[in-house]
Amino acid sequence: MEVLLKLGIDWKLLLAQIVNFLVLLFVLRKFAYRPMLDFLEHRSKKIEVGLRDAKKASEKLTELEAKEKEVLSNARREAAELLRAAKESAAKTGDLLVAESHREAEWILDEARRKIEAEGERFRSDMKGELTDLVLRATEKVLGEKMASEKDEALVREAVRRAEGREESAEGAQRS
């Protein structure tokens, strides 16, 4: 102790400082150091959990992106298939409509031809009747008297037959 006194150190004061240091160390450890370590440990666990969650989320995001690409690819493929099927259906429907319109046009033309032929026949029949009347009147005027009805009919038939023969030969020449 004497050495301490020679050095200018008071042992009572040194002992008080050591006790004060130990008390301060105990208080700091109890109220500052331990809570600080607990806080840091808790914080590092939170960071660890956050990193794990971020890694899981990144993996899930990668999976979802892959699934999204697959779904989009399938959707594009299905859309292309639907579009192709719709085009084929439209083409078939168009072909059917064209064929139906051709059949309808042919039917209309055939019907018109039939009507024209019927009208022509009716017209020819009317013309024959009028021609017969004209021939009878002309014959009466030429002969000045009315002939017997049998003779009259025979002459008219002969005139009509000749007129028809000329008419048919004229139609044949027109068609050629």
13-31 confidence digits (pLDDT tens): 889 999 999 999 999 888 8
Residue 149 is predicted with a pLDDT of 64
**DSSP 8-state assignment for residue 145:** S
pLDDT score at 132: 78
CA atoms within 13 A on the CB side of 22: 5
Residue 163 pLDDT level (bands cut at 50, 70, 90): confident
**95-118 burial, b if ≥16 CB within 10 A, otherwise e?**
eeeeeeeeeeeeeeeeeeeeeeee
Residue 138 CB coordination number (10 Å): 11
How far is 82 from 50, CA to CA, in rounded Å? Answer: 46
Per-residue pLDDT tens digits for 87-145: 999 999 988 998 999 999 999 999 999 999 999 888 888 888 887 778 777 777 777 65
- Other CB atoms within a 10 A radius of the CB of residue 41 amount to 10
Kind plus residue range of the DSSP H or E element containing 171: helix 149-175
